[in-house]
Amino acid sequence: MQPKLIRVFTGSTVALLAALAAAVFLCNWASETLIQPHDPVLLISTRILFWILGAVGSVLALICIFVKNPQLKLILILWFALNLIIYGIGLSWVGAHGAYGYLGGLADTFGLSTSTAETILKALFVYLLVGSSALLAWSWLQKPIVKTEAAFIKTNCIQCGGQIAFSPQNLGQKMSCPQCQSLITLGSPQPVASKPVAIGRSHEVLVRTLKISCTSCGGHIEFPTNFFGERIPCPHCQATITLQKARNLKMSCLTCDGRIEFPAHAVGQKIPCPHCKMDITLKEPA
Amino acid sequence: MFLDWSGLWLAAMSVLFVFAWRGWVVAHQPAHLMAMAEELGSTGEFSRLYNKLYPNHSNTCLVYDRYTESGMGIYFCNLADNKKKMVCEQPEKNWSWADFGMMGWSPDDTLFACVFPPNKPGQPLEEIIIYNGATGEEVIRLGAGNNSVRNFAWLSNRSFAYVYELSGGNNHVVATIEQKPDGNWIQSPVFQNIGDKSITGLVATSSHSIAWQQEASLWALDFTDGNPRNIWESSTNQLQSFTYSDKTGCFYLNCTYETNSLQICFSPPTQWHPQGAILDKPVADDKLNNAILQREGGLNALYVKTDGSSKWVHFPWQGQIQNYQVNGDCLYITGELTNQPPGIWKCDFQSGASDQIVSILDHPLKYAQLVNAVSGTFTNSVGRSALYQIWEPTHLETGKKYPLIIGQSPYEGWRPYPQIAANGGCFFVFARRPSWFEGLDNWSEDVMAVYDLMAKNPKVDLGKVYLFGVSAETYPLSQLLAEKADLWRGAILFTPGSTPDLSDVRTTKLLILAGEDEDADTVKRLIDYQDQAAKNGIVLNFTLVKGAQHIFKSSASEREETLQIARFLFGI
């Protein structure tokens, strides 16, 4: 529920900020021959203020489109809204009767009365402020619960068959099976095809794990093979994903033209070519 | 790289929406409004303040002025083939303290001369330019002096005298310019220090003598003896102005005695008489003002007295008259005539022909429609009766109400801003006053009287009434704006001398236009005023017109004025 709300809010913010930027740019263009009053807070021309407002709005909209971290988006939107609210307080503090006298050009450009233009802007800023702060607070309050509910992965001890639940963050860690006390490894830092081991007095079990990239945020996820096909929330972005075998990619070595196969999540890594031993950077095939 | 496609799509859609909204606003404005404003503002009207007409003696050529893109042009028109040529131009930028001055035609019409004030940085002297009277080609350009040259008289076909002031203005110099037999033009001072009283007239009484007026005295100077003589000193009859007839050799003095006017004729020095011969009526004299403009029931009519006739001829005119000039048997009118573009007409009393010789429209209007003002009379609250002119919206629709703009003006003739208001769908009304300062005291009363008249018109939207004022008119405008704040939606102020007190004004919109090259204090005052207005929650559209001073003097400035009015009234 919460990620969806955040997505809806950031999406609407992108639309509103893009509209705001387009509107102030158009206003500046349409009233090019007019001299604009000086803004009493920042002591710059209202035209420059509008350029700044439009530019910041555009950048923020682009950040919301290109940045994956929802918390960062919300924080930036809150920062923007807070700045505007503080500016409004500044206007009152210097004795201005609201922003009414500065919005004539904007109102004319869109055939509105100045009071309507002012109301629309106020509503926009309040929406950004309330929306971003409420969602930030909510996500902050909800985070621990999400972690405990979403992060549990269930498995069976290969010695006794008993069920074990653990957080995906604990993959690769060693622990004793709560049922038979056998030492088991919940995850392995080694590659996917690791060797099964049963050593000495203690029964160490290596759980075979796979690595995939989250389809939503691109974050790496390692999971035991027996979770194949299960749907879990991504530990990074909370988007629901289906655990499946990583897709292998193929490319040719640029030096020896030898064929190299590698998992998709290894894209960007630098490795020695298994054929000619020259360093190559793994890339997605064109 | 992470990319939220839905966000990108939303952003693109919202930008498109904003552009579409703007397009919708523009589409709902009167069609081609800005094109109309551009077209109407670029017409190159005749100067409102200066406009004069200078036909030659034989009525075959005419010199007139008209705004060019960058200033005021002096045009020469050969009336035989109606070919026009700009002979010189005074740029609006760096316009000095004085306007162009016409020094008249030589007695045989072969030459005419103009004087130009300095209009380039680093050019301290006025220039006298002599032109060929048949072709308008420049003959010679002479530096005239560093101060006002406004008094001149042709002595012969190849010489004229003029008076200029030395620096400081207390000393005057009489000089002559003469073409010698070898073709060279020689400039020679004749007399210096006529006195510190300003000279208001200069006439040639022969090829070697001149006369002029200083206050209520008349002086004469014969170049052969070089000493000026006081030939008339007002005692009971106060000299106002004079003319001289070379046909009769007489001076005609227009005098006042208490509240009466009288004309005195005398011919010094041989027929000197302290009071001269007192005439009870104006005499026929080609240098007297022999046309009188009257208004009959809101319509213009001229009473004209032609050469060799003592009869006044009634000459009705179905339109506005900005200026007129009688020359021999011809009458020249700058103005408008119903359903014709504004221009200059030549009316020949001998043949009865009346032709438009200059039109301000170089080609027919493509977008705008010419609107003829309708005149009427009103009586204000202090009993003054006067004329008003109203430009109605071009496309009146039944049941629809239109905004109204009211002002008071001394000028008749073409102006682009009532035209753009009417073309865009506004009523524009001017109460007329006799001259720039005369009647200015009644600005508020006149405007209120016209408002009351217009309030009875069901097509006027009384919620959208704007006041209009220029320069000194903005003083009474500001007072009225404060006194009856509820009546006005806003005000349009051109080069304002005064601005409304922001604490009194409850108007929502103001438009102020001023010249970028007005004095720095004025510009700063207006910029500060705009900041204060915005702080007070008043929307103020403010523009400084490039290159213009207090009075706009080019088509570029007029166009900017028209465009800004269109933007202000129709929100484009």
pLDDT tens for A257-272 read 888 887 777 778 888 8
How close does chain B come to A140, measured CA to CA in Å? 23
Query: Which among B14, B18, B534 has the least Cβ separation from residue A37?
Result: B534
How do residues B52-106 score in pLDDT, each as one tens digit? 889 999 999 999 989 999 888 889 999 988 899 999 888 888 776 566 788 889 9
User: By CA distance, what is A11's nearest residue in B?
Assistant: B7
Q: Are A155 and A164 in contact (CB under 8 A)?
A: yes
pLDDT over 90, % of chain B: 32
How close does chain B come to A146, measured CA to CA in Å? 24
pLDDT band at B410 (very low <50, low <70, confident <90, very high): confident
Assess B463–A contact: CB distance below 8 Å, yes or no: no
Q: Are B474 and B482 in contact (CB under 8 A)?
A: no
Residue B336 has pLDDT above 60, yes or no: yes
Query: Which of A59-73, A265-279, B28-42, B419-433 tops mean pLDDT?
Result: B419-433
Contact between B535 and A217 using a beta-carbon 8 Å cutoff: no
Return the number of other C-beta atoms located less than 10 Å from residue A275's C-beta: 14
Strands B385-391 vs A240-242: parallel, antiparallel or unpaired? unpaired
Half-sphere exposure of A243 (CA within 13 A, CB side): 21
How close does chain A come to B65, measured CA to CA in Å? 29
Query: Which among B14, B22, B541 has the least Cβ separation from residue A26?
Result: B22
**Which neighbouring-strand residues pair with A184?**
A175, A205
Q: Quote the pTM value.
A: 0.74
B444 CA to centre of own chain: 23
Assess A68–B contact: CB distance below 8 Å, yes or no: yes
Supply the pLDDT for residue B229. 83
- Identify which has the larger pLDDT, A285 or A134: A134
Contact between B539 and A23 using a beta-carbon 8 Å cutoff: no
Q: How far apart are CA B359 and CA B367, in angstroms?
A: 18
How do residues A66-86 score in pLDDT, each as one tens digit? 887 888 889 999 999 999 989
Q: Helix crossing, B555-570 with B33-41: angle to 10°?
A: 150
How far is CA A201 from each of CA A93, A182, A186, B216, B257, rounded to the nearest angstrom?
77, 9, 19, 136, 141
Supply the pLDDT for residue B173. 81
Supply the pLDDT for residue B284. 43
Contact between A22 and B536 using a beta-carbon 8 Å cutoff: no
Which of B14, B492, B512 would you mutate first to test chain A, the one with the most A CBs within 10 A?
A: B14
Query: Which of A178-192, A207-221, B12-26, B131-145 tops mean pLDDT?
Result: B12-26
Residues 6+ apart with CB under 8 A from B43: B342, B360, B361, B414, B416, B555, B558
Supply the pLDDT for residue B286. 42
Mean pLDDT rounded to a whole number for chain B: 84
pLDDT over 70, % of chain A: 84
Q: Where are the beta strands (DSSP E) in B193-249?
A: 199-206, 209-214, 217-222, 228-233, 238-245
Q: Which amino acid is at B215?
A: E
pLDDT band at B111 (very low <50, low <70, confident <90, very high): very high
Contact between A66 and B15 using a beta-carbon 8 Å cutoff: no
Say how many CB pairs under 8 Å bridge A and B.
123
Which of B503, B529, B541 would you mutate first to test chain A, the one with the most A CBs within 10 A?
A: B541
pLDDT band at B318 (very low <50, low <70, confident <90, very high): confident
Residue A44 has pLDDT above 70, yes or no: yes
- Which positions 26-45 of B are in contact with A (Cβ < 8 Å)? 28
Q: How far apart are CA A10 and CA A128, in angstroms?
A: 9
B489: left (phi over 0), alpha (psi -120 to 50) or beta: alpha
- Identify which has the larger pLDDT, A4 or B489: B489
- What is the arithmetic mean of pLDDT over A157-174? 73
Supply the pLDDT for residue A141. 81
Kindly tell me the sign of the dihedral angle through the C-alpha atoms of B4, B8, B14, B18: positive
Q: How far apart are CA A153 and CA A164, in angstroms?
A: 8
User: By CA distance, what is A217's nearest residue in B?
Assistant: B2
CA nearest A227: which of A249, A213, A204, A207?
A207
Residue A201 has pLDDT above 50, yes or no: no
Assess B482–A contact: CB distance below 8 Å, yes or no: no
Instruction: Provide, as residue numbers in chain A, all residues whose Cβ is less than 8 Å from the Cβ of B541.
Output: 34, 104
Q: Are A280 and A270 in contact (CB under 8 A)?
A: yes
Query: Which among A10, A22, A102 has the least Cβ separation from residue B534?
Result: A102
* Location of structure tokens 């960007």: A268
Assess B20–A contact: CB distance below 8 Å, yes or no: no
**What stretches of B285-341 show up as alpha helix (H) in DSSP?**
none
Structure tokens at B479: 């007072």
The 8-class DSSP code of residue B426 comes to -
Q: Are A100 and A119 in contact (CB under 8 A)?
A: no
Q: How far apart are CA A91 and CA A42, in angstroms?
A: 10
Helix (H) or strand (E) holding A166: strand A163-166
How far is CA A210 from each of CA A190, A233, A235, A248, A267, rounded to the nearest angstrom?
10, 16, 15, 12, 16
Instruction: Provide, as residue numbers in chain A, all residues whose Cβ is less than 8 Å from the Cβ of B508.
Output: 114
Assess B9–A contact: CB distance below 8 Å, yes or no: no
pLDDT over 90, % of chain A: 21
How far is CA A189 from each of CA A207, A242, B310, rounded to the nearest angstrom?
11, 22, 122
pLDDT band at A212 (very low <50, low <70, confident <90, very high): confident
Instruction: Provide, as residue numbers in chain A, all residues whose Cβ is less than 8 Å from the Cβ of B543.
Output: 33-35
Burial class (CB in 10 A: 0-12, 13-18, 19+), B3: exposed
Residue B493 has pLDDT above 50, yes or no: yes
- Which positions 516-555 of B are in contact with A (Cβ < 8 Å)? 527, 530-531, 533-544
Instruction: Provide, as residue numbers in chain A, all residues whose Cβ is less than 8 Å from the Cβ of B21.
Output: 110
Which of A6, A13, A20, A34 would you mutate first to test chain B, the one with the most B CBs within 10 A?
A: A34
How do residues B143-184 score in pLDDT, each as one tens digit? 765 556 768 899 999 999 988 877 665 677 888 899 999 989
Contact between B6 and A103 using a beta-carbon 8 Å cutoff: no
Residue B491 has pLDDT above 90, yes or no: yes
Kindly tell me the sign of the dihedral angle through the C-alpha atoms of A66, A72, A73, A79: negative
Assess B94–A contact: CB distance below 8 Å, yes or no: no
CA nearest B50: which of B78, B77, B76, B74?
B74
**CA distance from start to end of chain A:** 37
How close does chain A come to B97, measured CA to CA in Å? 27
| Span of A143-152, B209-218, B307-316, B372-381 with lowest mean pLDDT | A143-152
3-state secondary structure of B318: coil
Contact between B2 and A218 using a beta-carbon 8 Å cutoff: yes
Contact between B535 and A96 using a beta-carbon 8 Å cutoff: yes
Contact between A35 and B530 using a beta-carbon 8 Å cutoff: yes
- What is the arithmetic mean of pLDDT over A34-44? 89
How far is CA B181 from each of CA B111, B186, B223, B224, B547, rounded to the nearest angstrom?
16, 11, 20, 20, 44
Q: How far apart are CA B400 and CA B304, in angstroms?
A: 45
Q: How far apart are CA A156 and CA A162, in angstroms?
A: 5
Return the number of other C-beta atoms located less than 10 Å from residue B247's C-beta: 9
Instruction: Provide, as residue numbers in chain B, all residues whose Cβ is less than 8 Å from the Cβ of A37.
Output: 530-531, 533-534, 540, 542
pLDDT band at A169 (very low <50, low <70, confident <90, very high): low
How close does chain A come to B5, measured CA to CA in Å? 7
- What is the arithmetic mean of pLDDT over A179-207? 51
CA nearest B554: which of B564, B562, B543?
B562
B514 CA to centre of own chain: 18
- Which positions 40-59 of A are in contact with B (Cβ < 8 Å)? 40, 46
Instruction: Provide, as residue numbers in chain A, all residues whose Cβ is less than 8 Å from the Cβ of B527.
Output: 35
Query: Which among A40, A95, A111 has the least Cβ separation from residue B571?
Result: A111
CA nearest A7: which of A212, A168, A152, A217?
A217
How do residues A23-38 score in pLDDT, each as one tens digit? 999 999 988 888 889 9
Instruction: Provide, as residue numbers in chain B, all residues whose Cβ is less than 8 Å from the Cβ of A19.
Output: 14-15, 17-18
How close does chain A come to B399, measured CA to CA in Å? 22
Helix (H) or strand (E) holding A148: helix A114-150
Cα Dmax for chain B? 108
User: By CA distance, what is B10's nearest residue in A?
Assistant: A15
Contact between B2 and A33 using a beta-carbon 8 Å cutoff: no
